[in-house]
Structures are given as structure tokens and as C-alpha cells.
Amino acid sequence: GAGVSQSPSNKVTEKGKDVELRCDPISGHTALYWYRQSLGQGLEFLIYFQGNSAPDKSGLPSDRFSAERTGGSVSTLTIQRTQQEDSAVYLCASSTDRGRGYTFGSGTRLTVV
């Protein structure tokens, strides 16, 4: 597609439930990133996929968070046993090479009640 697509745009879930967030990057972009912004905080790095290399998971806040990228394209971020502190806007971005800016999706606003 023309841009980075994320779904759902909004998700309200009960504490303890699992959620899956989807990101469809720009075709041909080898790098894919997940960030989140919690209320009053800056953009926090979560995970980075680059081509066929092992992902950089150093930003994942706990083992309840995991992500995969299938076929070098679509990525899914999964949060298990959601907690209220997981409430945030989750942003996905992709890029073609290290010298260029990221193209962000419009985000998924996750609210854990």
C-alpha cells in the first residue's frame, strides 16, 4: 500500500486479556519498528526487525510482549495478560535504509480497563 497500515485503530480490552496489534509496512521497506507512547511520555522503542536478521527485542518491557514479522512483511505485536500500564498508543514504522526517515502508521490506541 501507499503507507503503513495499522489495525485496529482503537482497542479496549479487559485487564488480563491478550491482544494482537497488526502492522502492514510499505512494500519493499526492509526495516520495521514498534514504538509506544504512554500518557505524558515520549516515544518508547519496543522492537526492530531488519530484513532476515534476528530482531532487536531490547525495548520490550516484559516477557508478556512479543512480536513477529512474517515473510519480511506484516508484523504482529502481541501483549499477553494485559495490564493497565500497557495502555498507550502503539506505533509501527518502516523504512527503506538507514539514511531516511521512518514512515509511521496512524497507531493503535490501546486502553486496558
Partner 1 sequence: ILNVEQSPQSLHVQEGDSTNFTCSFPSSNFYALHWYRWETAKSPEALFVMTLNGDEKKKGRISATLNTKEGYSYLYIKGSQPEDSATYLCGLTMNSGYSTLTFGKGTMLLVSP
Instruction: Please report, as ranges, the residues that interact with partner 1 according to CB under 8 A.
Output: 3-4, 33, 35, 41-43, 45, 48, 50, 56, 59, 91, 93, 98-107
Please say which residue, 15 or 100, places its beta carbon nearer to partner 1. 100
Determine the 3-state secondary structure of 110 from DSSP.
Answer: strand
Cβ atoms within 10 Å, residue 18: 11
Task: Provide the strand spans (E) within the chain.
Answer: 5-7, 10-13, 19-24, 31-37, 43-50, 65-69, 75-79, 88-95, 103-104, 108-112
Please say which residue, 105 or 110, places its beta carbon nearer to partner 1. 105
Q: How far is the CB of 85 from partner 1 (least distance, A)?
A: 18
Q: How far is the CB of 105 from partner 1 (least distance, A)?
A: 6
